[in-house]
Chains A and B, each alone.
Chain A
Amino acid sequence: MSEQIPSRGQVDPVAGAEATAPDTAETPPEEPRSSAFLRDLMGGSAAISVLAVVLALAVGGVLIALTNENVQSAAGYFFSRPSDMFQAIWDAVFGAYRALFQGSVYDFRRDTFAAGIRPLTETLTFATPLIAAGLGVALAFRVGLFNIGGRGQMLIAAACAGWVGFSLELPYGVHLFVAVLAGVLGGAVWGGIVGLLKARTGAHEVIVTIMLNFVALYLVSFLLRTPVLQAPGSNNPKTPPMADTAVFPPLLGPGYNVHAGLLFVIAATIYVWYLLGRSSMGFQFRAVGENPNAARVAGINVKNVYVTAMLISGGLVGLAGVSQVLGTITTGFGAGIDAGIGFDAITVALLGRSRPWGVFFAGILFGAFKAGGFSMQAAEGIPVDIVLVVQSLIVLFIAAPPLVRTIFRLPTPGQPAAARSKKMKAVTT
């Protein structure tokens, strides 16, 4: 079994006991590529995140214009009446983004404020699981782990919470609490397995999480065809509806979909903020994420940190699954209940730069895309896929900070900083 925690200082000089000593003497040991990549991604500033969104919307606008039928037909006689085409482009793009706004924030066409604000509550509803799962992924990022097992963790959490939700009979309050707890624990266990495998055997978390996604999917699909999860008397692979005692109560009354899961998510955000910024455990998490070697030398048990971090990460992602079955779709669920949130969460975590409040607002933005995307399609006939393209572009731009920096002519943080530290060296010595 190989030691996963890299400690090159101990490995290399040995291999080169005589021949390659110089390499080991001064060369900084290379870190595992994935964690260097993660650090790059997280190293971007908030400005990069904002600019990536702006850029993605701009490119999205181009795509909307290109695919719009009016623009295409106006382009046919561009040279006789060019203004027609520009008018058509403007109409298409402005119309699309207006629809996106009206579908996600405030609908001016409604008479009352109560009706007008409804899109914003929809945004928050969509954002609830995204934030929860985003926090889970972000927490793992901060420990240097790439948790792409959100789907599996959500499915297991949904199954656990759902089973408690429809099969137990408990009083109001208690039932909800037990169901949430079951779901979070389910997700935590599913994530914890990953941490345990990584700590004990050195298995790479990316591979393990991907595989556990499939295990969870087929496990839940199987259970949905057995009496454990399947609604009695039904042939569909679908659970019975949740008991009234177990569902998240609506926050703003029955007219709106936004539910008390949002409160749990806000609490989770505060918890993650405290954990990472103010707690001893989070300090160890961050130390391991930034430099596992130094953490190990300082007496931090890196393996335990991996296990604990994946437990908490899985639990947070589990909360997203809980929010789905107890809040968004309470009428019973199938194997598609995760709705791709486990993967969107990676984007949310990246956009939020793995900071708790960054993730919170990135989650709301993506919630807005989801809510607004449908109304964009309905109102303007623009395929909802455009929103997916914009989301993907955001990831692309965030993953390529040099690109964004070049486009907006921002200074490269690396070089001046290096020069500055050199200067400091020169001055202070």
Chain B
Amino acid sequence: MKLELRGITKRFGSFVANDHISLTVEPGEIHALLGENGAGKSTLMNVLYGLYRAEEGAILLDGTEQHFAGPGDAMNAGIGMVHQHFMLIPVFTVAENVMLGHEKTTFGGRLDLASARKTVLDISARFGFHVDPDALVEDLPVGVQQRVEIIKALSRDAKVLVFDEPTAVLTPQETDELIVIMKQLREAGTSIVFITHKLREVREVADRITIIRLGKVVGEALPTASNKELASLMVGRAVELTVEKEPAKVGEAALVVDNLSVVDIHGQMVVNKVNFEVRSGEILAIAGVQGNGQTELTEALLGLQDRVTGTITLDGKPLAGLSVRKVLDAGVGFVPEDRQEDGLVAEFTIAENLMLDRSTREPFVKAGSLQLNALAEFAEKKIVEFDIRAQGITTNVGRLSGGNQQKVVLARELSRDLRLFVAAQPTRGLDVGSIEFVHTRIVQTRDAGTPVIVVSTELDEVVALADRIAVMYRGGIVGIVPGDTPREVLGLMMAGASHAEATGDSAVHTA
């Protein structure tokens, strides 16, 4: 089916999210929609899916104009969506999830599970999905859950499939598998719209690329275009994709973690006997797929976890068991992975957020009173130093873009005397420009001799920053490898292989 978007314009108040966007997806084509966060990709797709009504423009399927009042209409017209956050019910089986919303019934209103099961088996056999229709969704790995979403869409005869940032949650191996699936779907004649901001995947799978910036189409490209060309189109200026950094001038071991385990409130051991050290002047990246214990590990370092065993020493002084306050006072800077939930108070101003972790003492507090002048002066300085784009220091942080919010967090954490810097997912959800900035500041911190831990699920980031890489899998560290370890090896390790196995495997593949 040929999908055409003509001059789609969508406004929110005075803000134009989509400005006359036109896009044609030929049958059996993978069309990548590339753009930074906030460029208007998701808005466009929500218009296509009937969730928003565009003020101007038309949606055409095979030349006929469509008027979608809601997702139901879009689905009936043959548009399927694979959301970034899966719309699945974890406690239902695959078959139940697939029939959800258009359940068939037999006599007396009994659910016709058999036909749903058959649908799942059919589709999964056709594309080699290997999905068990009776498995509970919550027991399935993320990659398989995504396939369930695809089956769901295909079971409704989707001719146009929209993938919204599908690789954000996958391991590199799962991503490769997804790319294979997308190619198979293309062969079967399905048109695919692939939304992403990851250049590598786009170049690997797309037939054509449309780049969106600030709600407008700024260019089309072929997959043969270089990363640099695509990135500069996306950002609107030349971008440095690799982080410039000197070889690390490594000093003594500063942070030593010995036999650290964390038990969560469900009694599960989420970090399992982890040992590592970080030396001053180096960046240790902790790689791994989301949810393999990295979060709990960093929280344990900061004193946010209650049931921690093992020892953590920083410059010879024990950290484990201390309160968060004392850990911070020991010189630990922390960028939490969820900056909106754990790093910032959205309703507070930039200035107030900058003093959040120094709320009891000088320079911002004297004799129990806030020193508003000192704070304002400090905030003005940091806004300039960290290039925080805002109307002023009294702007609420909740009104800033993700990149600027993260700069506020960095400005706060990096303006203390640090003995250790822990950054968890420091660039999650940020645009290319902000990523550049954050990476530069992290490398600067390293070069100042501070030991740095960067936790990231993005292989690109890990490879760009790390001097050494610790890969976590199911709460344990499967190996600590040098920073220049090939991606394939890291990918396999992220799926649980030891370093030896991973290198052995990749040798087989390349042979």
**Shortest CB distance A67–B (Å):** 43
A23 within 8 A of B: yes
Q: Pick the contact of A9 from B169, B270, B299, B306 — CB < 8 Å? A: B299
Contact mask for chain B residues 33-57; partner A; CB cutoff 8 A; 1 contact, 0 none: 0001111100000000000000000
Residue in B168, B265, B345 whose beta carbon sits within 8 Å of that of A290 in the complex = B345
Scoring B139, B304, B356 by chain A CB atoms within 10 A of each residue's CB, the highest score goes to: B356
Q: Is the interface of A mostly helix, strand, loop or mixed?
A: helix
Select which of A9, A283, A424 is within 8 A of B295 by beta carbon. Answer: A9
Asked if A219 is at the interface (CB within 8 A of a chain B CB), the reply is: no
Q: B343 touching A294 by the CB < 8 A rule?
A: yes
| A117 close to B (CB within 8 Å) | no
Cross-chain contact B345 with A21 (CB below 8 angstroms): no
Interface-located stretch among A82-90, A132-140, A298-306, A344-352: A298-306
B361 closest partner in A (C-beta): A280
Q: A residues 394-429 with Cβ under 8 Å of B?
A: 415-429
Question: Does the CB pair B340–A28 fall under 8 Å?
Answer: yes
Q: Of all chain A residues, which has the CB nearest B327?
A: A299
Cα separation A11 to B142 with both chains bound (whole Å): 19
Whole-angstrom distance between the Cβ of B317 and the nearest chain A Cβ:
17
Q: Told that A9-B295, A421-B400, A426-B215 touch, could you supply 8 new A-B pairs with CB distance under 8 A? A: A18-B141, A22-B145, A281-B368, A287-B348, A296-B324, A417-B399, A419-B12, A426-B15
**Given A280-B365, A424-B401, are A21 and B291 neighbors across the interface (CB < 8 Å)?**
yes
- Is B474 located at the chain interface by the 8 A CB criterion? yes
Pick the most buried of B215, B270, B343, B401: most chain A CB atoms within 10 A of its CB: B401
Q: Which residues of the other chain, A, contact B17 by a CB distance below 8 angstroms?
A: 419, 422
Q: Does B246 contact A (CB under 8 A)?
A: no
Q: Is A291 an interface residue (CB 8 A)?
A: yes
**Bound CA span A294–B340, Å:** 8
Give a binary string over A257-287; 1 marks a CB under 8 Å from any B CB, 0 the rest.
0000000000000000000001111011011
A294-B343, A429-B36 given as contacts; is B289 within 8 A of A21 (CB)?
Answer: yes
B residues less than 8 Å from A421 (CB atoms): 398-401
Given A3-B306, A25-B290 in contact, is the A425-B142 Cβ separation under 8 Å?
Answer: no
- Collect the chain B residues with CB atoms within 8 Å of residue A291's CB: 341, 344-347
- Nearest Cβ in chain B — how far from A210, in angstroms? 27
What is the minimal beta-carbon distance from A419 to any residue of chain B, in angstroms? 3
Bound form: Cα–Cα A291–B353 in Å: 11
* CB neighbours of B140 from chain A (8 A): 19
For residue B457, which residues in chain A have a CB less than 8 angstroms away from its CB?
A: 25
27 pairs from A and B in contact (CB 8 Å cutoff)? A7-B342, A9-B337, A13-B270, A13-B290, A14-B293, A17-B268, A19-B90, A20-B90, A20-B291, A21-B291, A278-B370, A279-B368, A280-B365, A280-B369, A290-B345, A290-B346, A290-B347, A290-B348, A291-B344, A294-B341, A419-B15, A421-B398, A421-B401, A423-B15, A425-B401, A428-B390, A428-B400
Is B296 close to A, CB under 8 A?
yes
A297 touches B336 (CB 8 A): yes
Give complex CA distance A11, B85 in Å: 19
Residues of B within 8 A of A211 (CB): none
| Beta-carbon nearest neighbor of B305 in chain A | A10
* A293 sits at the interface (CB 8 A): yes
B402 at the interface (CB under 8 A from A): yes
Residues in B neighbouring A415, C-beta threshold 8 A: 12-13
User: Chain A: which residue is nearest B429 at the CB level?
Assistant: A26
B14 at the interface (CB under 8 A from A): yes
A16 interface hit (Cβ, 8 Å)? yes
A423 CB, min distance to chain B CBs, angstroms: 4
Chain B's nearest CB lies how many Å from the CB of A73?
52
B450-489 interface code vs A (CB 8 A; 1 in, 0 out): 0000000100000000000000001100000000000000
Q: A429 with B38: in contact, given A286-B348, A293-B341 (CB under 8 Å)? A: yes
Tell me the B70-114 residues at the A interface (CB within 8 Å): 84-86, 90
A8 within 8 Å of B (CB atoms):
yes
Question: B291 to A294, Cβ gap below 8 A?
Answer: no
User: With A293-B341, A297-B336 as given contacts, are A14 and B268 in contact (CB-CB < 8 Å)?
Assistant: yes
- CB-defined contacts of A2 to chain B, threshold 8 Å: 265
B214 in the interface (beta carbon within 8 A) = yes
Residues of B within 8 A of A23 (CB): 85-86
A280, A290, A297, A421 — which one has the most chain B CB atoms within 10 A of its CB? A297
A residues in contact with B356, CB < 8 Å: 287, 294-295, 298, 300
A24 contacts the other chain (CB 8 A): yes
Is the C-beta of B360 less than 8 angstroms from some C-beta in chain A? Answer: yes
Q: How far, in angstroms, from A293 to B337 measured CA to CA in the complex?
A: 12
Assuming A9-B299, A420-B15, A425-B401, is B344 touching A17 (CB within 8 A)? no
The docked-state distance in angstroms from the alpha carbon of A172 to that of B67 is 82
0/1 interface trace, chain B 195-228, chain A, CB 8 Å (1 if under): 0000000000000000000110000000000000
B142 contact set on A, CB distance < 8 A: 18-19, 21-22
Cross-chain contact A28 with B399 (CB below 8 angstroms): no
Residues from chain A with a CB closer than 8 A to the CB of B398 are: 421
B283 beta carbon closer than 8 Å to chain A: no
